[in-house]
Structure 1
Amino acid sequence: MRYQTETSAGWPEASQLPPRMDCETAALLRGFLTPILENATSWEDLSERLAAKGYGVAFAEGHLVIVNAESHDPVSTGADMGVPLRHLSQRLGRPCVKVHQGGHSGDLG
């Protein structure tokens, strides 16, 4: 018997945390993403507002991850935008997360 990683077994690769971005890119993203994160009234509202801008919500390694809606590539974390998952959870309640196969990541359910 041979061990197969998730990718080689044909399962979707787990979302990863995005790499740190340069300060100019981070400032530009904060300018239009932070108000969405701060003004959302529910997790569904947050998802809809981000989708309208071409982004989505995912979770990886205990972080809220903002992803590109088309490619699902990680763009930033909520903490990088100044609104960590802990603060959103206090305001919006715990999110319903559909966990991926490996258990380290998931999507908003």
Structure 2
Amino acid sequence: MIFDQTLPAKLDSETRVQLVRFLRPLLDSAADWPGLVRSLAARGYGLGFRDGRLIVVDKMTGQALCTGRDIDRPLAALARRLGRPRLRATADGHSAALA
């Protein structure tokens, strides 16, 4: 997935609460990485990885919305539950996508 190559800006508290309410159940109910990607895609979101962080991306704009940590589901916690994701690095060496 192509996305803005910067980490998302710090969330204000209202935006954070809304993203937690909408996105966290999708992350919590996923049985595997492909299922998580499908679930997010059905709602217009995607996953990216940047500098060791999971990034939730708006698929329409490519804009990075938040990190997993921003919504209390960091990459390390998801990897413990879903297994280590297989990633394909981009040319910049900082970003990756699920392989």
Matched residue, 2:22: 32
Q: Distance in 1 between matches of 2:54 and 2:34?
A: 14
Q: Which runs of 5+ in 1 are unaligned?
A: 1-11
CA-based RMSD = 1.5
Query: CA offset at residue 71 of structure 1?
Result: 2.1
TM value normalised by structure 1: 0.85
Matched residue, 1:47: 37
Superposed, which structure 2 residues align to 1:1-109 within 5 Å?
A: 15-109=5-99
Higher helix share: 2
- Which whole-Å deviations, capped at 9, do the CAs of 1:80-108 have from their partners, x for residues lacking one? 01100000000111111111101101111
Query: Given that residues 3 and 62 in structure 2 are in contact (C-alpha distance below 8 angstroms), is that contact kept between their aligned partners in structure 1?
Result: no
Query: CA offset at residue 16 of structure 1?
Result: 1.6
Aligned length: 98
Q: Which runs of 5+ in 2 are unaligned?
A: none
TM value normalised by structure 2: 0.93
